[in-house]
Structure 1
Amino acid sequence: MPIGLGVAKRQYTIILVLVGFYTLLPFLILTAYVHPSYDDYQIALRDGVGGFWETQADIYFNWSGRYFATAISRINPLIYWPLSVYNLYAAALLVLLTGAFYFLIRAVCKKYFSELEIAAICSVILAVYFVQMPDIAQGIYWFSGYMTYQFANILTLLLLLCLYQFFHVTGRLFKMIYILLSAVLATAVIGSNEMSLVGVMVLLTFILFTSWNKSFTNRPYLFFLFVICVAASLTAVLAPGNYARMPTQNNPANLVLSVTGALGLTAIAFYKWGAVVVAASLLYALLWGIPIASKAKNSIFFEVNFSVAIISYVASVTLMYFVFAWATGDRAGTRVEIVIYFFFVLGWFYNLQLLLNRYFKEKPVTETTLSKLLPAPLLFLLLLSLTNINSNITTAYLDLISGNAQVFDEELNRRYSYIYHSSCSSCSVPALSVLPKSLYILHMLPKSESEEMGVNDSFAAYWGKQHVELEGPVPDIKDNIEIVKDIGKGLRNRLLD
């Protein structure tokens, strides 16, 4: 039983499960207001005309080695379905992401905790992930973004689940099944984006290194998986399209800039993401981490060298930043950091558990007055982080409560209706009046900007028009303080009326 919790343990568990519902609810509701934008139209036009292998070859040789991301883009809802199906894709992504987290955590923790406690652990980790996800709009609601980055995260969770099961089954047949599933998943993740490639290769190198001398029977399976992943990585990295694209970047292949930038951005990542993760970690340690440490005395999952694990963890984050800087000469954008933050969170909690195992594995767990009092303020700190005015969760709720998401949805639907029914070949449409931060990416741009990025042209071509432009400027995205003030003014006006 956790230190000093007693009957309070169930109360904390229930509260944290409710925190999980609080976290996911606004993001699920917002899927009703999602719309395609930017590359969604361009990819739909590309894949709607070209054949599968033709498109794969063209992208691979002229643009990018992301072979799986290119392949999976063929399920773009704009190619096959009405626009309304786009919403269902985002909802399905959230369900898959939540489910993948849950089943991985359940596999690791089912020996130690009840289903309710497992749901609470999942709630804490999901809350930490969602509250600081670098870009909610691109990570959850934009098909072209989430199929490249977030879906790779989901596949990574499934890969970890398969690898965990591999180490915990007996018999050659079952081991072969899990290692083949792992190979398929790892190949898909590696072909999704370069950050996931780095994360998976560091992970597999860590597993191979730490388990090589522990189990002779596992060696051939793990070596087979590693060889497959090296081949997949070389296929992605050596794609001619990568090198054809590099000259279009600002300052690629600059070793000094890449190394110093990666080290600096790694330090910044720990600084900007660390506070919330630390608060959640302390609560996790008291409620579940220490009990696991006292029970998981012979688990191969935690029987690894802590120093090697820490080095691998920091190296994976640094290498992700390095790879992006090397390829582009620029710092990683928010959509790329979705993957980096994902590995940051997973690696943090895994290393935390290793640390707890190191100090509490052979020590008796004793109850103290301090340990009785600590969970309450730690829970309070976590709740403060989640309800912070600028958190992703608060932003999602404000986009709903303010009505901005609904207005955004209605205005875009009117735009589609006008374009569809109009006989114009060069059309003008009103600019959106509000841009909900949780949803907006690039739906249309003023003429000067659209000429460079092609956003308007792709939208026009999708609707069978020669050209579409905005009648007015795109408004700024309001910060959350302004939105709260607007909500207050609206309530005051209603009361006065």
Structure 2
Amino acid sequence: MLKNINSVKTKFLISGISILVILPFLILHYFNQPTPEDFFYPGIVKESGFLDAQNYFYKFWGGRISYYALTSYNPLYFYSISGYNVSAFLFFILFFYVLYLFISEFTKSILNQSERLLFLLSVFFLYLYSMPSVGQGFYWLGSVLNYHLPVIIIMLFFISYNRINIYESISRKTFYTSICFIAAISVAGFNELSAMVFSMSLILLFLKDYFIEKKINRYLLYMLVLNLFADYIAFSGPGNKHRSDLYVNSQEFYYSAYSSVEFIFQQLINWIFNSPVLAVTFLLIPVFFKIIKSDKQSLIFSIQPVFPVALLLLFLFTGTFIMLWSNGIVPYGRILNFLFFLFLTGWFYIMIVLLSYFNRKYKFAGYKFPGYTYAVAFLIILALLVKDNNIKTAYSDLISGKAQKFHNDLETRYSKIQNEISDSCIVDGLEEVPESLFFMDIDYVPTTVYNKGYQMYFNKKSIVQQRKVQ
């Protein structure tokens, strides 16, 4: 099978399928438009100044300091809607590239480039196919900065941390150590979920060094202390309490704990059995066999399977619990995207660990499955593509013209507002938003965040949506 992976025909096949899967998501960036909330943050900065704006966000919105600082200067600050689209597009490419670096960092001594690309494309295919909200994941820039950027930073941390222990060069060690410290300080300020995942990861790394390698890693200890301090600053923000008070079931321990277990169980069933993850995993078994047979196999794949399984469940539970505890509602959209990516990462790691464990006991890594079994797995994936999924929806949004109409309608709206002589303006609501994109429209009253964002951007006293006649 590995020989087939490295054949020219197979490379062309994999490349062709990958292009067909990713292409519609790339094209959709052209039709993307800012959601009105994205106009709000730069507007506040222009009205109050950067420091006063950040103080306002911290007191009344929450402790997401890193996110608020970055989104305050999103391209809309410079009156560039095209810059907004380019930024979202570049973050899509960056996510893909850093994911490749992350996979390569721990497999490059074992797998060749074709095999690493197959692994990357398999993970990315599953993510695109089943991610709960493509629009919030890749097109709403606010959400990208809020949730996908910390995922990118966390992956860069693990890449850099691994390289600190590999390279002897002082300059390289200093460079990668700096990246780790920046991550330790900044991740807490994006969202509670990434803060939790990153802090737990640092604690696990420290405990591994202390109990297994019998040493105290001073630099890791400094990173952990800084990270926990950053967590404290983020979680103690007055805005967190202000936001949680808006939700009925927030800070209810038993409700949050029970609902977290129930929710994670339902999501695991959905992710495993309603997506191609099992078929894709089977197709990747030859790649996994190569990893576990290699003399260069990393010790991270040679642990007891119960540990990564327990850790994945703990991470998923804690991530769900912290959202239920703070907001009283189950994870949705962009939050669920984060949890799903965490699941995929843990799933493939567990598969390699399981195969490594059983191979040490039964020595089966040399076994070759009949060729038809891979054909069956591939056909299952093709059959699942017929079902409703994000890839099919992306093509539908493009071919049906929904994306084009959405783009044109908003361009018409912008022109109407700009040409309106009065300081008040009434605009028509959108007939339809493409399912692959994200848009939360302005309200019928001028006092919402969405309306205020428009009003500050277009320098109007009032911009509201036309009320629909019942």
Instruction: Tell me the TM-score normalized by structure 2.
Output: 0.92
In the other structure, the counterpart of 1:211 is: 209
Asked if 1:226 corresponds to 2:224, the answer is: yes
Give the 3 Å change call, closer, same or farther, for CA 303–89 of structure 1 in structure 2. Answer: same
Structure 1: where are the runs of 5+ without partners?
A: 475-497
After the TM superposition, which residues 405-416 of structure 1 pair with which residues of structure 2 at under 5 Å, given as runs?
Answer: 405-416=403-414
1:129, 1:342 within 8 Å by CA — same for their partners in 2? yes
Rate the CA distance shift 1:91–1:166 in 2: closer, same or farther, 3 A: same
Q: What SS does the corresponding residue of 1:435 show, helix, strand or coil?
A: coil
Q: Counterparts of 2:222 and 2:302 in 1: how far apart (Å)?
A: 22
Give 1:213 shift.
3.8
1:280 CA displacement: 1.9
SS in 2 for 1:248: coil
Equivalent-residue separation in structure 1 for 2:298 and 2:6 (angstroms) = 25
1:201 shift after superposition? 1.8
For the 8 Å contact 1:56–1:67, the answer to whether it is kept is yes
Partner Cα separation in structure 2 for residue 243 and residue 312 of structure 1: 29
How big is each residue's C-alpha offset from its partner over 1:397-456, in whole Å with a ceiling of 9 and x where there is no partner?
1111111111111111111111111213222223323321112321334x2xx5684423
Equivalent position to 1:157, from 155, 158, 170: 155
CA distance 1:271–1:194, shift in 2 (3 Å): same
Which moved further from structure 2: 215-224 or 304-313?
A: 215-224
Give a deviation string over 1:341-367, Cα, whole Å, max 9, x none: 121111111122111221225725334
Name the CA distance, whole Å, in 1 between partners of 2:240 and 2:465: 34
What does residue 249 of structure 1 align with?
247
Match of 1:306 in 2: 305
Distance change in 2, residues 1:311/1:67 (3 Å): same
8 Å contact kept, 2:446–2:464: no
Deviations 1:369-398 (A, max 9, x none): x4433222222223333x234211111111
Match of 1:487 in 2: none
CA displacement, residues 88-112 of structure 1 (integer Å, 9 cap, x when unaligned):
0111111111111111112222222
Superimposed CA distance per residue, residues 57-101 of structure 1 (whole angstroms, 9 cap, x where no aligned partner): 222233211111111113311111422211101111111111111
CA pair 392-453 structure 1, distance change in 2 beyond 3 A: farther
1:322 aligned to 2:317? Answer: no
Residues 18-417 of structure 1: pairs in structure 2 closer than 5 A: 18-170=16-168, 174-215=172-213, 219-275=217-273, 276=275, 277-284=277-284, 286-295=285-294, 298-361=297-360, 363=363, 365-368=365-368, 370-385=369-384, 387-417=385-415
**Secondary structure of residue in 1 paired with 2:72:** helix
Amino acid at match of 1:85: G
Aligned-partner SS, 1:468? strand
Preserved contact between residue 65 and residue 239 of structure 1 (Cα < 8 Å): yes
Instruction: Count residues with an aligned counterpart.
Output: 465
Partner residue, 2:465? 470
Residue 461 in structure 1 maps to residue 460 in structure 2: no
- What displacement does 1:38 show? 2.8
Distance 1:50 1:388, change over 3 A: farther
1:118-139 CA distance string (max 9 Å, x none)? 2121111111111111111111
The alignment partner of 1:168 has SS state of: coil
CA drift of 1:182 comes to: 1.3
Residues 166 and 304 of structure 1: CA distance in aligned 2, closer, same or farther (over 3 Å):
farther
Structure 2, unmatched stretches of 5+, are: none
What TM-score, normalized by structure 1, do the two folds share?
Answer: 0.87
Flag as ranges the 4+ runs of structure 1 deviating above 6 A.
Answer: none
1:470 deviates by 3.0
- Find the aligned partners of 2:202 and 2:395 in 1 and give their Cα distance: 39
CA shift in 2, pair 1:454/1:367, >3 Å: closer
What displacement does 1:14 show? Answer: 4.2
Decide whether aligned partners of structure 1 residues 317 and 406 sit closer, same or farther in structure 2, where only a CA change above 3 A counts: same
> Take 1:186 and 1:319, find their aligned partners in 2: how far apart are those partners?
19
Contact 1:20 1:124 (C-alpha < 8 Å) held by counterparts: no
Give CA-to-partner distance per residue, 1:232-280, whole Å, 9 cap, x none.
2122112222123322222211011100011111101101111222222
Deviation at 1:171?
6.3
Provide the rounded CA distance (Å) in 2 between the counterparts of 1:364 and 1:287.
12
Residues 255, 9 of structure 1: CA spacing in aligned structure 2 closer, same or farther, 3 A cutoff? same
Contact preservation (8 Å) 2:75, 2:81: yes
Mapped contact 2:446–2:463 kept (Cα < 8 A):
no
Residue 425 of structure 2 aligns with an amino acid whose one-letter code is: C
Measure the CA separation in 2 of the matches of 1:109 and 1:372.
25
Tell me if structure 2 keeps the 8 A contact 1:5–1:372.
Answer: no
**CA distance, structure 2, for counterparts of residue 94 and residue 313 of structure 1:** 25
CA–CA distance in structure 2, aligned partners of residues 395 and 133 of structure 1:
12
Find the aligned partners of 1:64 and 1:390 in 2 and give their Cα distance: 36
372-381 vs 186-195, which deviates more? 372-381
| Alignment partners' CA distance in 2, 1:145 and 1:43 | 13
Q: How many angstroms does 1:304 deviate by?
A: 3.6
Cα displacement (A) at 1:12: 4.6
Percent pairwise identity: 24
Q: CA RMSD in A?
A: 2.4
TM superposition shift of 1:6: 4.2
Distance 1:167 1:361, change over 3 A: farther
- Contact 1:69/1:192 (CA < 8 Å) preserved in 2? yes
Are residues 61 and 12 of structure 1, via their aligned partners in 2, closer, same or farther at CA, if it must alter by over 3 Å?
same
CA contact (8 A) 2:253 2:325 kept: yes
Q: Any conservation in 1 of the 2:135–2:437 contact (CA below 8 Å)? A: yes
Q: Deviations over 1:112-160 (max 9, x none)?
A: 2222222121111111111111111111111211110111111122122
The one-letter amino acid paired with 2:114 is: L
For 1:177 and 1:212, locate their aligned partners in 2 and report how far apart those are by CA, in whole Å: 25
Kept in 2, the 8 Å contact 1:14–1:120? The answer is no
Q: Secondary structure at the match of 2:300?
A: coil
